[in-house]
Amino acid sequence: MTASLDDRAASCGLSLSPLAANVGCRIDGIDLAAATDEQFSVLMAAFGKYGGLLMREQELAVEDLVGFSGRLGTLDHAPLTQVGRTAIEGFPEIYLITNLMDREGKPMGALGNGEAVWHTDMSYLPSPPDASMLYAREVPPTGGNTFLCSMMAAYDALPEDLKALAGRLRIKHDATYNSGGYVRQGMVEHSDPRKTTGTFHPAVIRHPETGRPALYLGRRRQSYVEGYDLDESEALLDKLWGYATLPENTYEHVWQVNDVLLWDNRITMHRRDSFDPAHTRLMWRTQIQGSGAPKAYAQA
């Protein structure tokens, strides 16, 4: 008889606690800097099942965070900061998500203190990143919360006729704007999403490890359903997005220092609240390179 995931966790000193009904799991008893192979195997099984993982009270040096992240896959190098340098010298895999400024008053990282809308990281690429991870170094007393939603649960919630339709669709993921609503460097704004830079992906994808179907929407702004008139595309996207972020499929994370939150970009979306700029929010982010273009559920 095959051991349950909870039994496997208990056998190596871990405990699993779902964060919400349909997305996220807290793992207690793990030290990410020294996780055993069996603990890491349990962590990955939980990751595929829940889409997001929370590990609290992790005291990690930069080397520890990079080392653990590297067990998940090949790491992307972070983009240079606005002042043209790596965020942490000698560690190009670390990106700062922060409102901190340098001595010249220039941003030291990304996103500032504003809201970040629902999105999937870099879905405008042909092979978007598989996963993203944040490690909390400083957090404001209120605000700056991160939300996850399950795109597997969103798919399951669709009426059967909409499931069948969505399974035949491809959606254009726009590259013009970042999650904070700002135009990316080198991009040109268009009011017509059919004219923007981006990549078409299936609207319903198959998770490569679990085989489960998930809606894959990316970001609402400037999306476009291939082959539709613009008005029809907008109406259909509005309908799909109505299921994407249902409250019962969502988790709100209130940060504590030394929290690690890891999410699977293929089966979740995430967003962030704004916060008071008088307070500091500092996260170290790592990102796992895409293992391939998202595959349509019906064809994978």
Domains and CATH numbers, the chain: 5-113+130-140+255-264+272-283 (3.60.130.10)
163 conformational bin, left if phi > 0, alpha if psi -120 to 50, beta if neither: alpha
- Separation CA 273–CA 153 (nearest Å): 22
Query: In angstroms, rounded to a whole number, what is the distance separating the alpha carbons of residues 201 and 218?
Result: 9
Half-sphere exposure of 68 (CA within 13 A, CB side): 29
Single-letter code of the amino acid located at 79: P
Q: Mind giving me the DSSP string for 75-91?
A: BPPPPPPTTSS-SSTT-
**Lookup: tokens for 179:** 């999650």
Instruction: Tell me the mean pLDDT in the region 227-245.
Output: 96
**Both tokens of residue 148?**
């996850």
Helix (H) or strand (E) holding 267: none
Closest CA to 273 of 141, 147, 115, 97: 115
pLDDT grade, residue 226 (50/70/90)? very high
Q: pLDDT digits over 102-152, tens only?
A: 888 888 888 899 999 999 999 999 999 999 999 999 999 999 999 999 999
Q: What are the tokens at 122?
A: 């870099």
Q: Is the pLDDT of residue 62 over 90?
A: yes
Question: What digits encode the pLDDT tens for the residues 283-296?
Answer: 999 999 999 999 99
Query: What sign results for the dihedral spanned by CA atoms 191, 118, 100, 260?
Result: negative
Q: Is 86 helix (H, G, I), strand (E, B) or coil?
A: coil
pLDDT score, position 180 = 63
User: SS3 for 90?
Assistant: coil
pLDDT band at 248 (very low <50, low <70, confident <90, very high): very high
